A and B are shown apart, each in its own frame.
Chain A
Amino acid sequence: MADEKKVVFIISRQDGPDATPYEQRFEVPYRQNMNVISALMEIRRNPVTAKGEQTSPPHWEMNCLEEVCGACSMVINGKPRQACSTLVDTLQQPIRVEPMRTFPVVRDLAVDRSRMFEALKKVKAWIPIDGTYDLGPGPRMAENKRQWAYELSKCMTCGVCLEACPNVNSKTDFMGPFVFGQVELKNAHPTGEMNKEERLESFMDEGGLQGCGNSQNCVQSCPKGIPLTTSIAAINRQAAVHSLKSFFGHR
Protein backbone atom coordinates (compact mmCIF):
# COMPACT_ATOMS: atom_id res chain seq x y z
CA MET A 1 0.00 0.00 0.00
CA ALA A 2 2.61 2.53 -1.05
CA ASP A 3 0.27 5.08 -2.61
CA GLU A 4 -2.90 4.84 -0.58
CA LYS A 5 -5.40 7.45 -1.83
CA LYS A 6 -6.90 9.74 0.81
CA VAL A 7 -10.11 11.72 0.85
CA VAL A 8 -9.91 15.03 2.70
CA PHE A 9 -12.91 16.22 4.71
CA ILE A 10 -13.42 19.52 6.52
CA ILE A 11 -16.23 19.00 8.97
CA SER A 12 -18.04 21.75 10.83
CA ARG A 13 -18.26 20.76 14.49
CA GLN A 14 -20.51 22.20 17.15
CA ASP A 15 -20.59 20.70 20.64
CA GLY A 16 -24.14 21.74 21.47
CA PRO A 17 -27.07 23.93 20.34
CA ASP A 18 -25.50 27.13 21.69
CA ALA A 19 -21.82 26.24 21.28
CA THR A 20 -19.56 28.07 18.83
CA PRO A 21 -18.95 26.11 15.62
CA TYR A 22 -15.40 25.17 14.62
CA GLU A 23 -13.85 23.18 11.79
CA GLN A 24 -11.86 19.95 11.83
CA ARG A 25 -9.94 18.37 8.99
CA PHE A 26 -9.95 14.62 8.49
CA GLU A 27 -8.27 12.28 6.03
CA VAL A 28 -10.05 9.08 5.15
CA PRO A 29 -8.66 6.18 3.06
CA TYR A 30 -10.36 6.14 -0.34
CA ARG A 31 -12.61 3.25 -1.31
CA GLN A 32 -14.31 2.83 -4.62
CA ASN A 33 -17.85 4.29 -4.90
CA MET A 34 -17.81 5.57 -1.32
CA ASN A 35 -20.52 8.00 -0.24
CA VAL A 36 -20.26 10.77 2.34
CA ILE A 37 -21.95 8.64 5.02
CA SER A 38 -19.37 5.85 4.64
CA ALA A 39 -16.60 8.42 5.05
CA LEU A 40 -18.31 9.84 8.15
CA MET A 41 -18.58 6.28 9.53
CA GLU A 42 -14.88 5.80 8.90
CA ILE A 43 -14.13 9.02 10.82
CA ARG A 44 -16.42 7.91 13.63
CA ARG A 45 -14.55 4.59 13.81
CA ASN A 46 -11.24 6.43 14.16
CA PRO A 47 -11.87 10.02 15.27
CA VAL A 48 -8.37 11.40 14.67
CA THR A 49 -7.93 14.71 12.83
CA ALA A 50 -5.51 15.19 9.94
CA LYS A 51 -3.06 16.70 12.44
CA GLY A 52 -3.14 13.45 14.38
CA GLU A 53 -5.15 14.75 17.35
CA GLN A 54 -7.70 12.51 18.98
CA THR A 55 -11.18 14.08 18.98
CA SER A 56 -14.79 13.18 19.66
CA PRO A 57 -16.61 11.28 16.90
CA PRO A 58 -18.70 13.63 14.71
CA HIS A 59 -22.42 13.38 15.24
CA TRP A 60 -25.04 13.22 12.48
CA GLU A 61 -28.43 11.67 11.77
CA MET A 62 -29.11 8.85 9.36
CA ASN A 63 -31.70 6.19 8.87
CA CYS A 64 -32.64 4.62 5.53
CA LEU A 65 -29.35 5.12 3.63
CA GLU A 66 -31.26 5.14 0.33
CA GLU A 67 -32.47 8.75 0.04
CA VAL A 68 -36.04 8.25 1.16
CA CYS A 69 -36.01 9.34 4.81
CA GLY A 70 -34.30 12.74 4.59
CA ALA A 71 -32.51 12.38 7.95
CA CYS A 72 -28.94 12.70 6.69
CA SER A 73 -29.44 16.03 4.88
CA MET A 74 -26.44 18.33 5.31
CA VAL A 75 -24.59 21.00 3.40
CA ILE A 76 -21.90 19.27 1.35
CA ASN A 77 -19.57 21.55 -0.62
CA GLY A 78 -22.01 24.41 -0.27
CA LYS A 79 -25.14 22.57 -1.41
CA PRO A 80 -27.68 20.91 0.87
CA ARG A 81 -28.13 17.22 0.00
CA GLN A 82 -28.34 13.75 1.51
CA ALA A 83 -25.03 12.37 2.71
CA CYS A 84 -26.13 8.84 1.75
CA SER A 85 -26.68 9.49 -1.94
CA THR A 86 -23.81 11.94 -2.39
CA LEU A 87 -20.84 10.05 -3.83
CA VAL A 88 -17.32 11.14 -2.98
CA ASP A 89 -16.19 10.63 -6.61
CA THR A 90 -18.52 13.44 -7.73
CA LEU A 91 -17.16 15.95 -5.21
CA GLN A 92 -14.25 18.37 -5.30
CA GLN A 93 -11.78 17.99 -2.44
CA PRO A 94 -11.45 19.00 0.31
CA ILE A 95 -15.05 18.04 0.93
CA ARG A 96 -16.67 20.60 3.24
CA VAL A 97 -19.50 19.25 5.38
CA GLU A 98 -21.70 21.58 7.42
CA PRO A 99 -25.11 21.33 9.10
CA MET A 100 -28.16 23.01 7.49
CA ARG A 101 -28.04 26.14 9.61
CA THR A 102 -31.53 27.24 8.60
CA PHE A 103 -32.56 24.80 11.32
CA PRO A 104 -31.41 24.82 14.94
CA VAL A 105 -28.22 22.76 15.16
CA VAL A 106 -28.42 20.02 17.80
CA ARG A 107 -24.81 18.88 17.58
CA ASP A 108 -22.22 18.81 14.77
CA LEU A 109 -24.20 17.89 11.63
CA ALA A 110 -27.50 16.98 13.27
CA VAL A 111 -30.26 19.58 13.04
CA ASP A 112 -33.77 19.82 14.47
CA ARG A 113 -36.31 19.78 11.62
CA SER A 114 -39.35 20.07 13.94
CA ARG A 115 -40.50 23.30 12.28
CA MET A 116 -41.32 21.31 9.13
CA PHE A 117 -43.59 18.92 11.01
CA GLU A 118 -45.19 21.84 12.84
CA ALA A 119 -45.83 23.47 9.45
CA LEU A 120 -47.53 20.32 8.14
CA LYS A 121 -49.74 20.30 11.24
CA LYS A 122 -50.56 23.98 10.80
CA VAL A 123 -51.78 23.57 7.22
CA LYS A 124 -53.68 20.38 8.07
CA ALA A 125 -51.64 18.31 5.63
CA TRP A 126 -53.62 15.17 6.27
CA ILE A 127 -56.85 13.63 5.02
CA PRO A 128 -59.60 13.31 7.65
CA ILE A 129 -61.27 9.92 7.27
CA ASP A 130 -62.49 9.28 10.78
CA GLY A 131 -66.19 9.26 11.59
CA THR A 132 -68.45 7.96 14.33
CA TYR A 133 -69.52 5.18 11.96
CA ASP A 134 -68.06 3.50 8.88
CA LEU A 135 -68.06 6.14 6.15
CA GLY A 136 -67.49 3.57 3.43
CA PRO A 137 -64.97 3.86 0.60
CA GLY A 138 -64.12 7.39 -0.58
CA PRO A 139 -64.40 8.61 -4.16
CA ARG A 140 -61.91 7.17 -6.64
CA MET A 141 -58.96 9.17 -7.91
CA ALA A 142 -58.44 9.41 -11.66
CA GLU A 143 -55.29 7.60 -12.81
CA ASN A 144 -53.84 10.62 -14.65
CA LYS A 145 -54.25 12.71 -11.51
CA ARG A 146 -52.73 9.98 -9.36
CA GLN A 147 -49.66 10.04 -11.56
CA TRP A 148 -48.74 13.66 -10.92
CA ALA A 149 -49.92 13.52 -7.31
CA TYR A 150 -47.54 10.61 -6.76
CA GLU A 151 -44.61 12.90 -7.59
CA LEU A 152 -45.68 15.24 -4.77
CA SER A 153 -45.91 12.33 -2.35
CA LYS A 154 -42.17 11.72 -2.74
CA CYS A 155 -41.44 14.57 -0.30
CA MET A 156 -39.41 13.25 2.64
CA THR A 157 -39.34 16.52 4.68
CA CYS A 158 -35.56 16.51 4.32
CA GLY A 159 -35.30 20.30 4.63
CA VAL A 160 -33.15 20.92 1.54
CA CYS A 161 -35.69 23.32 0.00
CA LEU A 162 -35.82 25.37 3.21
CA GLU A 163 -32.04 25.57 3.33
CA ALA A 164 -31.90 26.75 -0.30
CA CYS A 165 -34.76 29.25 -0.05
CA PRO A 166 -33.70 32.89 0.46
CA ASN A 167 -37.03 33.64 2.12
CA VAL A 168 -36.73 31.01 4.85
CA ASN A 169 -34.65 32.65 7.56
CA SER A 170 -34.75 34.15 11.03
CA LYS A 171 -36.32 37.39 9.73
CA THR A 172 -39.50 35.72 8.43
CA ASP A 173 -41.87 33.02 9.57
CA PHE A 174 -42.35 31.60 6.05
CA MET A 175 -42.95 27.88 6.49
CA GLY A 176 -41.00 26.87 3.41
CA PRO A 177 -41.45 25.58 -0.15
CA PHE A 178 -42.23 21.93 0.70
CA VAL A 179 -45.60 22.94 2.20
CA PHE A 180 -46.94 23.90 -1.25
CA GLY A 181 -46.42 20.38 -2.57
CA GLN A 182 -48.09 18.83 0.47
CA VAL A 183 -51.09 21.17 0.39
CA GLU A 184 -51.52 20.52 -3.33
CA LEU A 185 -51.22 16.77 -2.78
CA LYS A 186 -53.88 16.71 -0.06
CA ASN A 187 -56.11 19.12 -1.99
CA ALA A 188 -55.88 16.87 -5.05
CA HIS A 189 -56.98 13.78 -3.13
CA PRO A 190 -60.71 13.14 -3.71
CA THR A 191 -61.40 12.87 0.03
CA GLY A 192 -58.86 15.49 1.02
CA GLU A 193 -60.47 17.91 -1.43
CA MET A 194 -63.46 18.14 0.93
CA ASN A 195 -61.28 20.13 3.35
CA LYS A 196 -59.53 22.16 0.66
CA GLU A 197 -60.70 25.56 1.94
CA GLU A 198 -59.58 24.90 5.52
CA ARG A 199 -56.14 23.87 4.29
CA LEU A 200 -55.84 26.92 2.03
CA GLU A 201 -56.96 29.28 4.75
CA SER A 202 -54.46 28.04 7.26
CA PHE A 203 -51.79 28.29 4.54
CA MET A 204 -52.82 31.90 3.83
CA ASP A 205 -52.21 32.81 7.47
CA GLU A 206 -48.96 34.22 8.90
CA GLY A 207 -45.88 32.48 7.50
CA GLY A 208 -47.98 31.07 4.71
CA LEU A 209 -47.86 30.90 0.93
CA GLN A 210 -47.37 34.67 0.50
CA GLY A 211 -43.81 34.24 1.79
CA CYS A 212 -42.67 32.82 -1.55
CA GLY A 213 -40.58 35.24 -3.62
CA ASN A 214 -40.11 33.06 -6.73
CA SER A 215 -36.38 32.53 -6.51
CA GLN A 216 -37.17 28.94 -7.56
CA ASN A 217 -34.16 27.56 -5.68
CA CYS A 218 -36.41 24.88 -4.21
CA VAL A 219 -37.17 23.16 -7.49
CA GLN A 220 -33.48 23.28 -8.42
CA SER A 221 -32.45 21.78 -5.09
CA CYS A 222 -35.12 19.16 -4.35
CA PRO A 223 -33.38 15.76 -4.29
CA LYS A 224 -36.61 14.01 -5.24
CA GLY A 225 -37.24 16.23 -8.26
CA ILE A 226 -40.62 17.38 -6.92
CA PRO A 227 -42.04 20.11 -9.21
CA LEU A 228 -42.35 22.53 -6.28
CA THR A 229 -42.63 25.70 -8.35
CA THR A 230 -45.56 24.16 -10.23
CA SER A 231 -47.21 23.44 -6.86
CA ILE A 232 -46.45 27.00 -5.71
CA ALA A 233 -48.19 28.52 -8.72
CA ALA A 234 -51.07 26.03 -8.50
CA ILE A 235 -51.61 26.81 -4.80
CA ASN A 236 -51.31 30.54 -5.58
CA ARG A 237 -54.16 30.06 -8.05
CA GLN A 238 -56.26 28.12 -5.53
CA ALA A 239 -55.62 30.81 -2.91
CA ALA A 240 -56.47 33.66 -5.29
CA VAL A 241 -59.73 31.97 -6.32
CA HIS A 242 -60.54 31.11 -2.72
CA SER A 243 -59.92 34.64 -1.44
CA LEU A 244 -62.12 36.15 -4.16
CA LYS A 245 -64.83 33.56 -3.54
CA SER A 246 -64.81 34.10 0.20
CA PHE A 247 -64.87 37.89 -0.26
CA PHE A 248 -67.66 38.06 -2.82
CA GLY A 249 -69.49 35.03 -1.53
CA HIS A 250 -70.14 31.67 -3.13
CA ARG A 251 -73.11 29.45 -2.51
Chain B
Amino acid sequence: MRVQCICYIFAIRLKVLRTITVFATVSANIGGRDPNIIIMGLLAWIILEYATGKPECKGGTLMASRDFVNRRLHSFLGLIPVGLFLIVHMTVNYFATRGAEAFNKAANFMESLPYLVFLEIVFIYLPLLFHAIYGIYIAFQAKPNAKRYSYYRNWLFFFQRWTGLFLVIFLAWHIWETRIAMLRGTELNFDMMANILDNPWMVAFYIVGVLCAVYHFSNGLWAFLVHWGILVTPKSQRITSYITVVIFILLAIVGIRSIFAFVNPDVVAMM
Protein backbone atom coordinates (compact mmCIF):
# COMPACT_ATOMS: atom_id res chain seq x y z
CA MET B 1 0.00 0.00 0.00
CA ARG B 2 2.70 2.43 1.11
CA VAL B 3 4.94 1.41 -1.75
CA GLN B 4 2.14 2.03 -4.23
CA CYS B 5 1.51 5.46 -2.76
CA ILE B 6 5.17 6.40 -2.93
CA CYS B 7 5.52 5.10 -6.49
CA TYR B 8 2.47 7.07 -7.42
CA ILE B 9 3.76 10.28 -5.91
CA PHE B 10 7.05 9.77 -7.71
CA ALA B 11 5.29 9.17 -11.00
CA ILE B 12 3.36 12.43 -10.66
CA ARG B 13 6.41 14.31 -9.48
CA LEU B 14 8.54 13.17 -12.39
CA LYS B 15 5.83 13.87 -14.90
CA VAL B 16 5.18 17.37 -13.60
CA LEU B 17 8.87 18.14 -13.32
CA ARG B 18 9.38 17.12 -16.90
CA THR B 19 6.44 19.25 -18.01
CA ILE B 20 7.75 22.26 -16.16
CA THR B 21 11.25 21.86 -17.54
CA VAL B 22 9.92 21.59 -21.08
CA PHE B 23 7.60 24.51 -20.42
CA ALA B 24 10.42 26.71 -19.14
CA THR B 25 12.85 25.81 -21.89
CA VAL B 26 10.34 26.27 -24.68
CA SER B 27 9.14 29.62 -23.43
CA ALA B 28 12.68 30.85 -22.74
CA ASN B 29 13.64 30.06 -26.32
CA ILE B 30 10.50 31.07 -28.21
CA GLY B 31 9.10 33.73 -25.92
CA GLY B 32 10.33 37.10 -24.88
CA ARG B 33 12.85 35.47 -22.49
CA ASP B 34 10.66 36.45 -19.59
CA PRO B 35 12.29 35.72 -16.22
CA ASN B 36 8.78 35.24 -14.76
CA ILE B 37 8.59 31.88 -16.43
CA ILE B 38 11.79 30.73 -14.77
CA ILE B 39 10.59 32.04 -11.39
CA MET B 40 7.26 30.28 -11.85
CA GLY B 41 9.01 27.07 -12.75
CA LEU B 42 11.17 27.28 -9.63
CA LEU B 43 8.21 28.06 -7.39
CA ALA B 44 6.22 25.22 -8.89
CA TRP B 45 9.12 22.91 -8.12
CA ILE B 46 9.18 24.10 -4.49
CA ILE B 47 5.44 23.46 -4.12
CA LEU B 48 5.89 20.07 -5.67
CA GLU B 49 8.67 19.21 -3.25
CA TYR B 50 6.56 20.41 -0.33
CA ALA B 51 3.31 18.71 -1.32
CA THR B 52 4.80 15.35 -2.18
CA GLY B 53 7.62 15.27 0.35
CA LYS B 54 7.90 12.78 3.18
CA PRO B 55 5.63 13.43 6.16
CA GLU B 56 7.45 14.76 9.19
CA CYS B 57 6.93 14.93 12.96
CA LYS B 58 4.69 11.90 13.44
CA GLY B 59 2.87 12.03 16.77
CA GLY B 60 4.17 13.43 20.01
CA THR B 61 4.51 17.02 18.84
CA LEU B 62 1.80 19.64 18.91
CA MET B 63 1.83 19.84 15.13
CA ALA B 64 -0.90 18.53 12.91
CA SER B 65 0.36 16.02 10.35
CA ARG B 66 1.48 17.26 6.99
CA ASP B 67 -1.31 15.27 5.42
CA PHE B 68 -3.90 17.21 7.44
CA VAL B 69 -2.26 20.57 6.72
CA ASN B 70 -2.01 19.82 3.00
CA ARG B 71 -5.65 18.79 2.77
CA ARG B 72 -6.87 21.85 4.60
CA LEU B 73 -4.56 24.09 2.59
CA HIS B 74 -5.91 22.50 -0.57
CA SER B 75 -9.46 23.22 0.55
CA PHE B 76 -8.64 26.78 1.62
CA LEU B 77 -6.70 27.75 -1.50
CA GLY B 78 -9.48 26.35 -3.68
CA LEU B 79 -11.77 29.08 -2.38
CA ILE B 80 -9.28 31.81 -1.50
CA PRO B 81 -7.79 32.90 -3.83
CA VAL B 82 -8.49 30.45 -6.70
CA GLY B 83 -12.30 30.59 -6.38
CA LEU B 84 -12.31 34.33 -5.89
CA PHE B 85 -10.07 34.77 -8.91
CA LEU B 86 -12.50 32.69 -10.96
CA ILE B 87 -15.33 35.11 -10.06
CA VAL B 88 -13.20 38.17 -10.89
CA HIS B 89 -12.04 36.60 -14.14
CA MET B 90 -15.57 35.69 -15.21
CA THR B 91 -16.83 39.14 -14.31
CA VAL B 92 -14.15 40.80 -16.45
CA ASN B 93 -15.01 38.41 -19.30
CA TYR B 94 -18.67 39.35 -18.99
CA PHE B 95 -17.77 42.83 -20.23
CA ALA B 96 -17.54 41.15 -23.64
CA THR B 97 -21.33 41.00 -23.73
CA ARG B 98 -21.25 44.81 -23.88
CA GLY B 99 -19.03 44.75 -26.93
CA ALA B 100 -15.35 44.59 -27.83
CA GLU B 101 -14.56 48.05 -26.54
CA ALA B 102 -15.99 47.45 -23.07
CA PHE B 103 -14.06 44.18 -22.81
CA ASN B 104 -10.80 45.76 -23.93
CA LYS B 105 -11.21 48.51 -21.35
CA ALA B 106 -11.84 46.01 -18.53
CA ALA B 107 -9.00 43.72 -19.63
CA ASN B 108 -6.59 46.63 -19.97
CA PHE B 109 -7.49 47.78 -16.46
CA MET B 110 -6.60 44.34 -15.07
CA GLU B 111 -3.40 44.38 -17.11
CA SER B 112 -2.44 47.79 -15.77
CA LEU B 113 -2.63 46.82 -12.08
CA PRO B 114 0.56 47.70 -10.21
CA TYR B 115 2.99 44.90 -9.27
CA LEU B 116 0.88 42.61 -11.50
CA VAL B 117 3.55 39.91 -11.70
CA PHE B 118 3.61 39.62 -7.92
CA LEU B 119 -0.19 39.48 -7.73
CA GLU B 120 -0.29 36.84 -10.45
CA ILE B 121 2.34 34.65 -8.83
CA VAL B 122 1.13 34.90 -5.25
CA PHE B 123 -2.62 34.96 -5.83
CA ILE B 124 -2.98 32.87 -8.96
CA TYR B 125 -0.08 30.68 -10.08
CA LEU B 126 1.15 29.35 -6.74
CA PRO B 127 -2.25 28.57 -5.20
CA LEU B 128 -3.53 27.17 -8.49
CA LEU B 129 -0.47 24.97 -8.94
CA PHE B 130 -0.71 23.61 -5.41
CA HIS B 131 -4.46 23.04 -5.75
CA ALA B 132 -3.96 21.29 -9.08
CA ILE B 133 -1.02 19.09 -8.11
CA TYR B 134 -2.41 18.05 -4.75
CA GLY B 135 -5.85 17.70 -6.36
CA ILE B 136 -4.54 15.17 -8.87
CA TYR B 137 -3.10 13.20 -5.97
CA ILE B 138 -6.45 13.31 -4.12
CA ALA B 139 -8.46 12.42 -7.23
CA PHE B 140 -6.44 9.30 -7.91
CA GLN B 141 -6.71 8.15 -4.32
CA ALA B 142 -10.46 7.62 -4.67
CA LYS B 143 -12.01 4.38 -5.83
CA PRO B 144 -15.09 5.71 -7.63
CA ASN B 145 -18.24 3.72 -6.84
CA ALA B 146 -21.07 6.01 -7.92
CA LYS B 147 -22.62 3.32 -10.07
CA ARG B 148 -23.02 0.98 -7.14
CA TYR B 149 -23.89 3.67 -4.61
CA SER B 150 -25.73 6.12 -6.82
CA TYR B 151 -26.54 8.71 -4.18
CA TYR B 152 -26.67 12.40 -5.01
CA ARG B 153 -23.59 13.36 -2.96
CA ASN B 154 -21.58 10.42 -4.28
CA TRP B 155 -22.18 11.55 -7.87
CA LEU B 156 -21.11 15.08 -6.91
CA PHE B 157 -17.99 13.57 -5.29
CA PHE B 158 -17.28 11.67 -8.51
CA PHE B 159 -17.77 14.74 -10.76
CA GLN B 160 -15.70 16.92 -8.42
CA ARG B 161 -12.73 14.68 -9.18
CA TRP B 162 -13.38 14.36 -12.90
CA THR B 163 -13.98 18.07 -13.45
CA GLY B 164 -10.80 18.76 -11.48
CA LEU B 165 -8.74 16.49 -13.72
CA PHE B 166 -10.31 17.96 -16.84
CA LEU B 167 -9.60 21.47 -15.57
CA VAL B 168 -5.88 20.69 -15.27
CA ILE B 169 -5.86 20.03 -19.02
CA PHE B 170 -8.23 22.87 -19.86
CA LEU B 171 -6.35 25.45 -17.79
CA ALA B 172 -2.96 24.39 -19.13
CA TRP B 173 -4.37 24.89 -22.63
CA HIS B 174 -6.13 28.11 -21.70
CA ILE B 175 -3.06 29.65 -20.05
CA TRP B 176 -0.90 28.61 -23.00
CA GLU B 177 -3.27 30.25 -25.47
CA THR B 178 -3.67 33.48 -23.52
CA ARG B 179 -1.07 34.32 -20.88
CA ILE B 180 1.85 32.56 -22.55
CA ALA B 181 0.72 33.87 -25.95
CA MET B 182 0.86 37.37 -24.45
CA LEU B 183 4.45 36.79 -23.35
CA ARG B 184 5.16 35.73 -26.90
CA GLY B 185 3.79 38.96 -28.28
CA THR B 186 0.09 38.46 -28.94
CA GLU B 187 -1.86 41.45 -27.70
CA LEU B 188 -4.51 40.90 -25.03
CA ASN B 189 -7.79 42.14 -26.46
CA PHE B 190 -11.21 41.05 -27.68
CA ASP B 191 -9.74 39.74 -30.94
CA MET B 192 -7.40 37.38 -29.11
CA MET B 193 -10.37 35.45 -27.69
CA ALA B 194 -12.42 35.87 -30.86
CA ASN B 195 -9.59 34.23 -32.82
CA ILE B 196 -9.28 31.39 -30.31
CA LEU B 197 -13.03 30.76 -30.47
CA ASP B 198 -13.30 30.88 -34.27
CA ASN B 199 -14.04 27.18 -34.68
CA PRO B 200 -16.93 25.17 -33.18
CA TRP B 201 -14.62 22.60 -31.53
CA MET B 202 -12.85 25.29 -29.56
CA VAL B 203 -16.21 26.81 -28.56
CA ALA B 204 -17.34 23.39 -27.33
CA PHE B 205 -14.03 22.87 -25.47
CA TYR B 206 -14.39 26.25 -23.77
CA ILE B 207 -18.04 25.64 -22.86
CA VAL B 208 -17.12 22.32 -21.25
CA GLY B 209 -14.14 23.95 -19.54
CA VAL B 210 -16.18 26.81 -18.14
CA LEU B 211 -18.97 24.50 -16.97
CA CYS B 212 -16.41 22.25 -15.27
CA ALA B 213 -14.80 25.22 -13.56
CA VAL B 214 -18.15 26.57 -12.38
CA TYR B 215 -19.25 23.15 -11.14
CA HIS B 216 -15.92 22.51 -9.40
CA PHE B 217 -16.19 25.90 -7.71
CA SER B 218 -19.84 25.57 -6.60
CA ASN B 219 -19.46 22.06 -5.25
CA GLY B 220 -16.05 22.89 -3.83
CA LEU B 221 -17.58 25.79 -1.94
CA TRP B 222 -19.97 23.36 -0.25
CA ALA B 223 -17.12 20.95 0.51
CA PHE B 224 -15.06 23.81 1.93
CA LEU B 225 -17.86 24.68 4.34
CA VAL B 226 -18.03 21.05 5.51
CA HIS B 227 -14.26 20.53 5.66
CA TRP B 228 -13.87 23.51 7.93
CA GLY B 229 -16.77 22.43 10.11
CA ILE B 230 -18.98 25.40 9.30
CA LEU B 231 -21.95 23.33 8.09
CA VAL B 232 -22.55 20.62 10.66
CA THR B 233 -26.27 19.80 10.71
CA PRO B 234 -27.86 17.90 7.81
CA LYS B 235 -30.30 20.79 7.42
CA SER B 236 -27.58 23.42 6.95
CA GLN B 237 -25.77 21.11 4.54
CA ARG B 238 -28.96 20.57 2.52
CA ILE B 239 -29.91 24.24 2.31
CA THR B 240 -26.36 25.23 1.34
CA SER B 241 -26.49 22.55 -1.30
CA TYR B 242 -29.51 24.32 -2.87
CA ILE B 243 -27.65 27.62 -2.69
CA THR B 244 -24.63 26.14 -4.48
CA VAL B 245 -26.94 24.86 -7.24
CA VAL B 246 -28.16 28.43 -7.72
CA ILE B 247 -24.55 29.68 -7.74
CA PHE B 248 -23.73 27.06 -10.37
CA ILE B 249 -26.62 28.11 -12.62
CA LEU B 250 -25.87 31.82 -12.33
CA LEU B 251 -22.14 31.41 -12.99
CA ALA B 252 -22.84 29.03 -15.87
CA ILE B 253 -25.03 31.69 -17.50
CA VAL B 254 -22.31 34.29 -17.00
CA GLY B 255 -19.66 31.98 -18.47
CA ILE B 256 -21.62 30.80 -21.48
CA ARG B 257 -22.89 34.25 -22.38
CA SER B 258 -19.30 35.53 -22.24
CA ILE B 259 -18.10 32.78 -24.56
CA PHE B 260 -20.81 33.51 -27.11
CA ALA B 261 -20.07 37.21 -26.87
CA PHE B 262 -16.71 36.45 -28.48
CA VAL B 263 -18.27 34.18 -31.09
CA ASN B 264 -21.32 36.11 -32.17
CA PRO B 265 -22.80 39.14 -30.36
CA ASP B 266 -26.18 38.54 -32.02
CA VAL B 267 -26.51 35.15 -30.30
CA VAL B 268 -25.85 36.73 -26.91
CA ALA B 269 -28.53 39.32 -27.53
CA MET B 270 -31.00 36.46 -27.98
CA MET B 271 -29.84 34.61 -24.84
Residues of A within 8 A of B (CB): 78-79, 164, 166-167, 169-173, 201-202, 204-210, 213-217, 220-221, 227, 229-230, 232-241, 243, 246
B contacts with A, residue count (CB < 8 A): 46
Nearest neighbor of B155 in chain A, beta-carbon distance: A215
Q: Contacts A233-B231, A237-B228: A204 and B65 contacting too (C-beta < 8 A)?
A: yes
Determine whether B85 belongs to the interface, using a CB cutoff of 8 Å to chain A. Answer: no
Q: Is B58 in contact with chain A by the CB < 8 A criterion? A: yes
Q: Quick check: A210 and B67 within 8 Å, CB to CB?
A: yes
CA distance A236 to B223 in the complex (A): 11
Contact of B151 among A167, A216, A237, A240 (CB under 8 A): A216
In the assembled complex, B13 has its CB within 8 A of some CB on chain A: no
Find chain A residues with CB under 8 A from B189 CB: none
- Chain A minimum-CB-distance residue to B74: A210
A-contacting 9-mer, from B17-25, B136-144, B244-252, B256-264? B136-144
Q: How far is B59's CA from A118's CA once the two chains are assembled, in angstroms?
A: 16
Within the complex, which residue of B65, B151, B160 is in contact with A208, where a contact is CB–CB below 8 Å? B65
Contact present for B226 and A236 (CB under 8 Å): yes
**How many whole Å from A23's CB to the nearest CB in chain B?**
18
Interface membership of B232, Cβ < 8 A: yes
The answer to whether residues A205 and B58 also contact, given A166-B144, A210-B67, A233-B237 and a CB cut-off of 8 A, is yes
Q: Is the CB of B151 within 8 A of A210?
A: no
Chain B residues contacting A205 (CB-CB under 8 Å) are 58-59, 65, 67-68
- Find out whether the CB atom of B142 lies under 8 angstroms from the CB atom of A243: no
Contact A206 B154, beta carbon cutoff 8 Å: no
Encoded as 1 (CB less than 8 Å from any A CB) or 0, chain B from 49 to 78 comes to 000000100110011110111111000000
